[in-house]
Chains A and B, each alone.
Chain A
Amino acid sequence: AQTVTQSQPEMSVQEAETVTLSCTYDTSESDYYLFWYKQPPSRQMILVIRQEAYKQQNATENRFSVNFQKAAKSFSLKISDSQLGDAAMYFCAYRSAFANNNDMRFGAGTRLTVKP
């Protein structure tokens, strides 16, 4: 079964600085999707960014970008120009590309603190 590991339980960043959150995963599949979700204190899960494994280009959404290393099975999230509103739990997630597989696997999460 696929597993997702987030090795940093907590991270801290100064406002306006850049921070990188790590994620690694284990799979034998060649085609899959990767996601980063943000969970603020409201508990709502909010999609931050997604990456298709067969695309070599790293996904970017405004201040959020990923470094996808398929061979290393690594999928890190970089947040540039950090804002106070970025403070939240961040979850990395994996989903197989096979049509019958609805199972999304999540990491344990990284709590990000943003210091003013």
Chain B
Amino acid sequence: NAGVTQTPKFQVLKTGQSMTLQCAQDMNHNSMYWYRQDPGMGLRLIYYSASEGTTDKGEVPNGYNVSRLNKREFSLRLESAAPSQTSVYFCASSEWRDSENTQYFGPGTRLTVL
């Protein structure tokens, strides 16, 4: 099993450009998450999807949209990138049958917005 995979690993954008970060998991988990990680700060939740067909805002949703394409895939879209969105983005998944709802993370995408 690959676990949680993310593409791309690195991306450089100009201000105003758009892009979609892709995430897929092969653990048959119901819940998926998008986080951003900034220097000197812990991970902050952008959006999550508790189950296929549902999405909800997290702590820092402004400037982002998400799509839960199917049970395996959860994408994050930046419609008009801004320098403040320069960050490392992590996707994660979890399963409610695991009572602790432990989250399993992908390797991250480093995004730079010029």
Contacts and interface: CB of A to CB of B under 8 A. Distances in A.
Contacts of A6: 42
Interface in B59-105: 59, 88, 90, 92, 96, 99-105
Given A52-B100, A108-B40, A109-B42, A43 B59 contact: no
B107 to A, nearest CB: 5
Nearest to B41: A108
A99 B100 CA distance: 10
B26 interface: no
A18 B8 CA distance: 38
Size band of the interface chain B makes with A: 20 to 34
A6 B43 CA distance: 13
A108 B100 CA distance: 22
Contacts of A4: 42
Contacts of B41: 108
A43 B108 contact: yes
A103 interface: yes
B105 A102 contact: no
Nearest to A107: B42
Contacts of A106: 42-44
B48 A102 contact: yes
Given A102-B31, A106-B42, A106-B44, A43 B88 contact: yes
A102 B30 CA distance: 12
Given A33-B100, A35-B102, A44-B106, 17 more contacts: A9-B40, A37-B105, A42-B107, A43-B107, A44-B107, A44-B108, A45-B43, A45-B90, A47-B102, A50-B102, A52-B99, A93-B42, A102-B56, A103-B45, A103-B59, A106-B44, A107-B42
